[in-house]
Every structure is written in C-alpha cells, then in structure tokens.
Amino acid sequence: MIASIEGQRGMPRPKPPFPAQSGLWGKPTIINNVETLAHVSRILKVGAEVFKSIGTKDSPGTKTFALTGHVANTGLVEVPFGTTLREIVLNIGGGITDDAGKIWKTGFKAVQIGGPSGGCLTEEHLDLPLAYESLRAVGAMVGSGGLVAMNQGTCMVSIARFFMEFTQRESCGKCVLCREGTNQLLALLDDVIEGRADAGTLELLEKLGHAVQVGSLCGLGKTAPNPVLSTLRYFRKEYEEHIFEKRCRTGRCKALLSPGINEVKCKGCGLCIKACPTGAITGEKKKPHHIDAELCIKCGACATACKIHAVEGI
C-alpha cells in the first residue's frame, strides 16, 4: 500500500468532470442555486413584468438574506430589493443584542454583508436601500446574501481577520496574488492584532488589498480583500488605536491587554500570586498587590483567581 502511494507522488490528481460537460446521468448539467430556481418558477407563474414591479429598477425582485449575529431574530429573511438595512436588522431582526442575547438599543456597530468576501457597513448605511448597485457603490456586495449584525463589543480588525482567514483557506492557489497576497494580508492583520504593526502596515494592507483585487483571476480573489478594505475605510480609527495606542477598545485582542491590579479593590489575599505561572505578581499580605508587566504573559490566571475582580484589563 505504502509503495503504491509513494509511486503516485508527483502525479497530477485526476480532475472530476465539470458538470457542464458531464453531470446528472453523465449529461451536461447546469448548476444553479436554489434561490435562482425558485425565482424562475415564480417568474413563469406571475410573469416577468409583475416580478420586475417588485424591487428597484436595476435589482428587480426579492432577495433572501441569511440574517445572523447580534440580533434577536436570526434566520432567512426574504425582502424586496431596496429594503433598508434598518428594516432588516432593527425591525425584522428584532434589534441588536449584547453577548448575553439581551436587546442593546444603542448597540449597533456594523453589518458584514455578502458573505466572507463581502464588506462591512456602518450606522451611516442603516437607511441604504439594499440592492446590487447601491451596495457596490459603498464597497460591499449582495454576494451570497449573508448578513451578520455586530454589536459595539465587536473588534472590526478581528472581524476582518476572521473573514480573511476563511477566504485565504478557500484560495485554490492558481494566481500568485490571491495565493500569496491573501496570506500576507492575514499576516499583516495578525501584526495589527498582536501589537507588531506600525504606520507602514496600514499602507501595505491597502496597497496589497487593491493588488489582490486587480491581480486575481476569479471572483474569490477579486473579492477576498473586501472585509479588509471596507473595515479600513469605515473603521480606520480602530486600526489606528491598535497600531499607535496598542489598545483594542473592545478588549478582544488579548495581546494588547495589559493587566493591572486595582489598588482600591485589592484585599491582598495572595490568591493571584499562587495562580501566576511566571511570578509576575508581588505584594504583602493584606496590602495591594502589583503586576510586573515585563514578566506577565497575559494568561489571565490571576483574573480568574481573584474572587473580587480586582485584576483589570484582561
């Protein structure tokens, strides 16, 4: 068995036939998503003119969005093109929630629209009628119809990284700019999140993002940098805070946290000293303790050990 596997090394993997050449029953087959087929049946039933009377001039008909994230009601939402983000997220979605699922009236921060290669939109876009043309104009897209609502506790740099990691994994590797560029974008985002970035990182992220868009062959590479470019466009301040102030306003980027002991709260019980694996904490019994930032590896064990939550910033 091993010999036969060894013998196959370097051999090109056999490619499955394209459905357009040989699909169902070995015949040429058209692959379309269910939504398209559902529309076809409706158009045949009601007629093209009636179908086109719904939606906008350039985006007629309806669209099904997969609404998820920090909203009270998640699920599939079919609305006419031209419906606003406010209607979908705040009315149909029932409003923004906090991490515990409770309604957070002022908690709206952003939506990621169009799936992993889509773009992030902000509060200023809440009244934007959702359609192919309007989304393209603000650097987003309808895409797969994914719509992820995010509350104020969401770090937009981490979100860009999350989606970039997905598209990077999906790259088939044929084009250098998609294969290597998405990898480098991911590394640059890691630099921002882990505190290694400088002013040049922002410029590089933008330049490389545009280069990947231009130099990629298919839609995956052309849209992969969207989450990075749209968050840079609408949430640049958050990138700048990570880079220049070494802080993440949401506390999600652990590498940028610097734990400290609140001297007013601390009772000097010493539990944190016992929990700390690096000996970073010192203090006399019944007196406020201190953390040596040089020795601290930000593991969070002290915060877990402290029963009165005197350890802050982690």
Is residue 221 within 8 A of residue 178, CB to CB? The reply is: yes
> Could you give the CA distance from residue 303 to residue 259 in angstroms, rounded to a whole number?
9
From the CB of 4, what's the least distance to ligand SF4, in Å?
A: 30
CB of 250 to ligand SF4, least distance (A): 19
Closest residue to ligand SF4 in the complex (CB): 221
Which CB sits closer to ligand SF4, 138 or 299? 299
Cβ 222 to ligand SF4 shortest distance, Å: 7
Q: How far is the CB of 132 from ligand SF4 (least distance, A)?
A: 21
Find tokens 């590498």 and name the residue.
Answer: 255
Which phi and psi angles does 245 have, rounded to 5°?
A: -105, -5
Residues at the site binding ligand SF4, with contacts judged by CB under 6 A: 171-175, 178-179, 216-218, 220-221, 259, 261, 266-272, 275-276, 278, 280-281, 289, 291, 296-302, 305-306, 308, 310-311, 314
CA atoms within 13 A on the CB side of 86: 8
From CA 309, how far away is CA 267, in angstroms rounded? 11
Closer Cβ to ligand SF4, 110 or 303, answer by number? 303
Identify the residue whose tokens are 């087959």.
29
Q: How far is the CB of 238 from ligand SF4 (least distance, A)?
A: 24
Tell me the pairing of strands 75-80 and 260-261: unpaired
**Nearer Cβ to ligand SF4, position 93 or 181?**
181
**Those residues with Cβ within 8 angstroms of residue 54's Cβ, 6 or more apart along the chain or in another chain:** 60, 61, 62, 80, 81
Which residue, 72 or 255, has its beta carbon nearer to ligand SF4?
Answer: 255
Q: What is the DSSP letter of 212?
A: H
Minimal distance, residue 58 CB to ligand SF4, in Å: 27
Cβ distance to ligand SF4 smaller for residue 27 or 309? 309
Of the candidates 141, 154, 162, which has an alpha carbon nearest to the alpha carbon of residue 71? 154
Tell me whether residue 146 or residue 221 sits nearer to ligand SF4 (CB atom). 221
